[in-house]
């Protein structure tokens, strides 16, 4: 059962082959164009991200400089890392001589984790100086703050009259940050 006569068979097979070949070429060209558009879109997205990052670079550099300067200042002040108790005590001895005090005594509590923040630690220090008045106490604390390697807050201070004049007692909290 032949549907096509013999003289039309060859042209019909050629037409079918041309149709299959043409549609294959069209499909391949369409696929290549889609791949090209995908690459072009990816390149455009990368260029947009790079341009945005380039616009933000001065702000990021300024922020990084500010943060690194703050970190360096905190490290230099002795707030970051381990306590420098030896420096604290040597500064007490230096202030004893500098301010011509008769007595400087101290009691240093062990370092304890602070409930204020994870990584924050404090050490309580009770200092008694004699003779002491408000002006001398202010000088003492000011010079200790300037020269000691660390950061402290004053919890309380009292001026006490005694047989040799006055003595002063202060409770300080030395703070360190050891968080990662």
pLDDT per position as a tens digit, 114-138: 888 888 888 999 999 888 778 888 9
pLDDT per position as a tens digit, 148-160: 888 888 999 988 8
pLDDT exceeds 60 at position 26: yes
CA 59 to chain centre: 16
Bridge-based pairing of strands 165-177 and 151-162 is: antiparallel
Q: Is the pTM of this model over 0.75?
A: no
pLDDT exceeds 90 at position 5: no
Token pair of 128 as six digits: 């008694």
The string of DSSP letters for 86-142 reads HHHHHHHHHHHHHTT-SEEEEEEPPPEE-TTSTTEEEEEEEEEEES--HHHHHHHHH
Which of the residue ranges 20-29, 52-61, 118-127 would you say has the lowest mean pLDDT?
Answer: 52-61
- The confidence band for 164, taking pLDDT boundaries of 50, 70 and 90, is low
pLDDT exceeds 90 at position 142: yes
pLDDT exceeds 60 at position 9: yes
Rounded distance between C-alpha atoms, residue 169 and residue 137, angstroms: 9
Beta bridge partners of 158: 169
């Amino acid at each position: 059962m032949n549907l096509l006569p013999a003289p039309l068979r060859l042209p019909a097979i050629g037409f079918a082959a041309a149709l299959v070949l043409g549609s294959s070429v069209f499909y391949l060209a369409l696929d290549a164009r889609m791949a090209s558009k995908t690459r072009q879109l990816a390149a455009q997205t990368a260029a947009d991200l790079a341009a945005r990052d380039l616009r933000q670079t001065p702000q990021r550099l300024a922020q990084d400089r500010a943060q690194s300067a703050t970190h360096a200042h905190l490290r230099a002040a002795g707030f970051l890392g381990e306590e420098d108790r030896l420096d604290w005590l040597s500064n007490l001895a230096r202030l004893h001589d500098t301010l011509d005090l008769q007595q400087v005594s101290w009691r240093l509590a062990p370092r304890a984790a602070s409930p204020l923040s994870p990584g924050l630690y404090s050490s309580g220090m009770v200092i008694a100086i004699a003779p002491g008045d408000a002006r001398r106490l202010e000088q003492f604390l000011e010079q200790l703050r300037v020269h000691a390697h660390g950061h402290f807050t004053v919890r309380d201070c009292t001026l006490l009259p005694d047989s040799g004049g006055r003595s002063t007692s202060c409770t300080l909290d030395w703070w360190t940050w050891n968080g990662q």
